[in-house]
Structure 1
Amino acid sequence: MLIELLTKKYPGMRLWLTQRLSAVAMVVYLLLMLLVLAIRQPHDYASWLDLMSPWWWRLLTLVFFASLFTHAWLGVRDVFKDYVFNLRLRAFLQIVVDMLLIGYLGWVSIILWKL
């Protein structure tokens, strides 16, 4: 049943499911982060650096931000489809948002892997 919903017969279902899965990934990361912060309680730069230095934590953080930007991209796309009726303006705004989100993901990657 689920596989049938993800076919071309229902074009918006994949995007809807992607947005929901990205939200779940963000919630799981945030709960894990709250748990780690409650246990370790970093109070200075060195303790924050120690918290963020394991490669697997940086990877989880990168997955969080990729989920965040995917979620934002889909949400902004839907808002533009609903409220921006000029097709050229909508395409231009979507390109600007796409470039910004890709740039932000690159920036986060640089920050995380240059610790």
Structure 2
Amino acid sequence: MLIELLTKKYPGMRLWLTQRLSAVAMVVYLFLMLLALVVTQPHDYASWRALMSPWWWRLLTLVFFVSLFIHAWLGVRDVFKDYVFNLRLRAVLQVTVDILLIGYLCWISIILWKL
């Protein structure tokens, strides 16, 4: 049943499922972050750095931000489709959002991995 829903017969189902799965990934990360903050209680730069230093935590943080940007991209895309009726303006706005999100993802990657 689920596989049938993800076919070309229902084109919006994949996007809907992607947005919901990205929300679940963000909630799991936020729960883990809250748990880590309660346990470690970082109070200065060194303790924050120690919290974010393991490679797996940086990877989880990167997955969180990728999920956030996918979720935001889908949401903004739907808002533009619903409320911006001029196709050229919608395309310009969507490209602007795309460029900003890609730029933010690169920026986050540089911060996390100190490239």
Shared fold per TM-score greater than 0.5: yes
RMSD between aligned alpha carbons? 0.8
TM-score norm. by structure 1 comes to 0.99
How far 1:76 sits from its partner (Å)?
Answer: 0.1
Match of 1:95 in 2: 95
Aligned position for 1:79? 79
Instruction: Give the letter for the 1:86 counterpart.
Output: N
The percent of aligned pairs where both chains have the same amino acid is 87
Once the two structures are superposed, the pairs formed by residues 18-97 of structure 1 within 5 Å of their partners are 18-97=18-97
Letter in 1 for 2:26: M
Unaligned runs of 5+ in 2: none
1:25-49 deviation line (CA, Å, top 9, x unaligned): 0000000000000000000000000
Structure 1: tracts of 5 or more residues without a match: none
Shift of 1:56: 0.2
Misfit runs of 4+, over 2 Å: none
1:7 CA displacement: 0.3
The count of aligned residue pairs is 115
